[in-house]
Structure 1
């Protein structure tokens, strides 16, 4: 088992806590850089989708996992970014400028949606964001002069000041660069005073306010940053599919995004990536399993929804910390064997939350 003896405050500020982090993450980056020459075009496309959903998942993880504000209409931000990117690229804007504008517009919409979070929370905030998702989907369908309505819009390849990314490898490296950049932004944000304010709000709003944290400012900021990352992911999503329609950003997409962060592990940056891998790989696993199931089961139209529901129930009941929480338990077991105790990760009741006084 690894023990880290800290001798100065600078060690707490480092992104890599020890040499093992540097070795494994460097190896992962090297493997991802070599992927276009190692894997097939199909699996490269799946990696693209994993990175796109990881960017969106990082934003939703910041909102739900670190600030404690749940959004059931997050696909609307994905759609705002996608349609903004499509409209601006059709107007001749270069990809980087359109991407910045897509993220910025999504952030401004996130500020508007975040305003109800100042007065409501819990299930009521979820209902407010759900209503927002329905409104945005209806706008996409009705505003035909801009969005094309239910007929959808075609989106061209990314054009960076005359350089068109017309190969799968070029677009892959674009997604990889943006994913690494988004991850570094979130990691640095979480170790800043702003990130610690988010966590304080998640743990106890009353305690955070008593320490001088401005709830309205930080809640709105969390919504804006989360929406901006969703907008950037939506812009990449539009370029990857090269066609977008309103039904791609409906309530089912929002539920998939929320499912992604819950199963990945709320409150962990790793959970956003593990959840994205789950979200992209599960349909492939289900399609492979259909060949071995009876026709009455394998050809049932609601099979995928049934499997997702069962998996979510299983995680909520038996592994509330998600895939990353399960990995922490496995790692601790291997490090402490044979001295591992079954109750080491047992959840304890908290009697210190100031909300109990109200």
Structure 2
């Protein structure tokens, strides 16, 4: 069991709470650096998508998890970053320049979206961000002179320091991993700063934040801008990974997947963005396994327990038809979200914290340690 005594303000804002955390993160980083030499091309590609989704999750976490502003329009910010990349690359702009341009332009557009959103809260803010996503999707489809319309745009491999960085190479994986690490470290430092603490104060209570002298409007716009800029950087990597982009790729479903990243991972910790990204990206391999291998396994089990060949084949065909049914992925997503909201609202990282605390305090752990407190409606708080 570890006891931590904080004696000054620096202890409270320390980047690593103790030396054990430094060792754990160093080991994790070492394993990730060794991944290209151990994993095959398919799993390495999945790790790249995990990094990209985690970057978007960190950006969305700053806006939703730490500032309390809901958004279902982050697929639009990803699209802006991706199309900025494709457009500037076709005009011979080098990679570092258009990578920064993708983030900066997306951040400025995010700030513009943040201004009209200042007077909106809750479901109305969600509707506004959905409308923004539809507008961006329509602009990308209609502005053919820039975006090539529904025909889409090709994105070539990164050219950096005279070398080509293909999308399936280990170098591209290291690039995505490096951007993710820098994004997470930057977000941690942001949250330790007065700006980050203002974000959290706005999330907890806008009235209390105003009473402490925080300019709520300015920090909300700043949160939108920072979140959009991070998503724009991810959009640049996303475009290079797919090598082809079109408006149909940046739909509302993609925004919902980004929301699920922080819901499943945990909406109040940057660890949750990474865990949620791993979970969401690995759903597709699971569905592929469910569709290709599980029917044969179930048929074999049925034959073992006395089912005839005809009945085993019928069971295999039924399971295969179920696995290949349209909308199965959406149904699994919906079921997962409902289960997490009902039984683990703190997400995967919250469950990990509970497990870790259980072993730290064993046998003195109490089940009521994380019991949710009663929440009062606003009209009851002043009674």
Aligning the two structures, in what range does the TM-score lie when normalised by the shorter sequence? over 0.9
SS at match of 2:234: helix
CA distance in 1, matches of 2:23, 2:196: 26
Measure how far apart 1:159 and its partner are.
1.5
CA distance in 2, matches of 1:341, 1:354: 33
Measure how far apart 1:76 and its partner are.
0.1
TM-score under structure 2 length normalisation: 0.90
CA distance in 1, matches of 2:243, 2:380: 48
CA distance in 2, matches of 1:174, 1:321: 30
CA distance in 1, matches of 2:23, 2:378: 39
Aligned to 2:349: 324
Measure how far apart 1:13 and its partner are.
2.9
Aligned to 1:243: 244
Structure of greater Rg? 2
Aligned to 2:327: 302
CA distance in 1, matches of 2:286, 2:3: 39
Measure how far apart 1:117 and its partner are.
2.3
Q: Is residue 2:171 matched to residue 1:170?
A: yes
- 1:151-166 mapped onto 2 (5 Å cutoff): 151-166=151-166
Aligned to 2:202: 201
TM-score under structure 1 length normalisation: 0.97
Q: Is residue 2:97 matched to residue 1:97?
A: yes
Measure how far apart 1:355 and its partner are.
8.9
Question: In 2, are the aligned partners of 1:204 and 1:353 still within 8 Å (CA)?
Answer: no
Measure how far apart 1:351 and its partner are.
5.5
- 1:75-224 mapped onto 2 (5 Å cutoff): 75-166=75-166, 168-224=169-225
SS at match of 1:164: strand
CA distance in 1, matches of 2:25, 2:278: 17
Question: In 2, are the aligned partners of 1:204 and 1:355 still within 8 Å (CA)?
Answer: no
Question: In 2, are the aligned partners of 1:94 and 1:161 still within 8 Å (CA)?
Answer: no
When the two structures are aligned, how many residues end up with a matched partner? 358
Q: Is residue 2:294 matched to residue 1:269?
A: no
CA distance in 1, matches of 2:127, 2:382: 26
Measure how far apart 1:286 and its partner are.
1.8
Q: List runs of 5+ in structure 1 lacking aligned partners.
A: none
What's the C-alpha RMSD, in Å, of the aligned pairs? 1.6
The superposition leaves residues 105-144 of structure 1 with CA deviations (integer Å, 9 ceiling, x where unpaired) of: 0001101111122101100000000000000001111111
> Once structures 1 and 2 are overlaid, which stretch shifts more, 246-255 or 157-166?
157-166
Aligned to 2:35: 35
The superposition leaves residues 299-329 of structure 1 with CA deviations (integer Å, 9 ceiling, x where unpaired) of: 2111111000000000111111111111111
CA distance in 2, matches of 1:190, 1:352: 28
Aligned to 1:292: 294
CA distance in 2, matches of 1:238, 1:126: 26
Question: In 2, are the aligned partners of 1:66 and 1:199 still within 8 Å (CA)?
Answer: yes
Measure how far apart 1:350 and its partner are.
4.7
SS at match of 2:115: helix
Over 3 Å counting, the alpha-carbon distance change for 1:355 and 1:114 in structure 2 is farther
Question: In 2, are the aligned partners of 1:95 and 1:160 still within 8 Å (CA)?
Answer: yes
CA distance in 1, matches of 2:228, 2:152: 22
CA distance in 2, matches of 1:312, 1:350: 21
CA distance in 1, matches of 2:350, 2:96: 36
SS at match of 1:159: strand
Measure how far apart 1:344 and its partner are.
1.2
